[in-house]
Amino acid sequence: MNISNDKDISIGLDLLGSDTHPESEISALEIVLRLDKKIKIAVICPESFSPLLPESERISFISANSGVPMDTPPSLALRNYKGSTLDEGTKALSKGLISAFVTAGNTGAALAFAVINIKRIKGISRPGIAVVIPARSGPRVLIDAGANADVRPEHLVGFAKIGISFAKYVLGIEHPRVALLNIGEEEGKGDTLRKESYKRLKVLKNSFGGNIEAKDLLESPYEVIVTDGFTGNICLKLLEGSVDFFMRTLKEALTEGNLLNKTGAFLVKNSIKNKFNNLRYEKYGGACLLGLLRPVIIAHGRSNAEALANAILYAKEVAEANIEKHLTKNVSEENEIFSENIEKETLF
């Protein structure tokens, strides 16, 4: 893996992204500066916010005129918010002024500005949001988790190619396998999109394992789960909400009642907390917008300081891995494999 030097790594942060901006972002900066003594961060925001930033020679400033409201459609954001944090952040990324860009802002607008300002990898028609989810046998990648609500079968094939590269070079899985998220395991299940995508994904041969149901995501034997952004985002938020619900319910069950119950709760508290923390979105910080020549990390809009700090550190990890180089090479190789297999399918 090609690792960049620390001196070359600078992470861009949208100061006006999260629901609780800029307080959460500023607290995240302070956390990261304490945890990583070498990281450099370029903060994208209006100049009026610069006095609020932590005093550090590792903090720089890129001027923007505003943030982008969460309810702004992508098309309006492109027209009405030129010079915004999302516009200036993705432009700085495209120019090489920063190594990765982190935002907890409007996902649709972030995608739109990223696609306009940053070139896509050749052979990939749509970038997708890849999010790491836990499974019993190790981390898995779900793609697309929200970038593309309406897709065609060829887009899901593209997500599969991207997911394979991500699993190889970020998760360290030597031979990742792909599954299609569906309402049943049988080949004929699902709507037209799923049925046609299944046929096309079969060209992956040994890398494609078939359909997987949502109930099996956390027990998945497959490392790459492919779906459209609408389904993927609902699935992701259901997982997040379920974890929060079960944590609260378990806490209530263990802390209510007699002294014996409370003593037992005290004894198992740390073990249960560690297990459930592996499922919380704050641990992973953000999801990676893949398919572009530069990495963009999309954090949850309700991210707190801990989650944003982890997103910044994750962005540094992705930047150091030079993932776009591996993606470009691997997608090119996968395209050749797809072309060869398609020809064989046609001939035989």
127-148: pLDDT as tens digits: 999 999 888 788 899 999 988 8
Over the stretch 76-104, which tens digit does the pLDDT of each residue have? 999 999 999 999 999 999 999 999 999 99
The phi, psi pair for 137, rounded to 5°, reads: -100, 10
Provide the CATH number for the domain formed by 1-124+291-322 in this structure: 3.40.718.10
Domain definitions of the chain by residue range: 1-124+291-322
Beta-strand runs (E) in 176-299: 178-182, 208-213, 224-226, 286-290, 296-299
Distance between CA atoms of residues 290 and 328, nearest Å: 11
Task: Examine the pLDDT at 246 and tell me if it is beyond 90.
Answer: no
294-298 average pLDDT score: 94
The answer on pLDDT for 339 being more than 80 is no
Q: pLDDT digit string (tens) for 192-212?
A: 999 999 999 998 878 999 999
Question: Model-level pTM?
Answer: 0.85
CA distances from 166 to 7, 120, 223, 237, 320 (A): 24, 16, 10, 21, 14
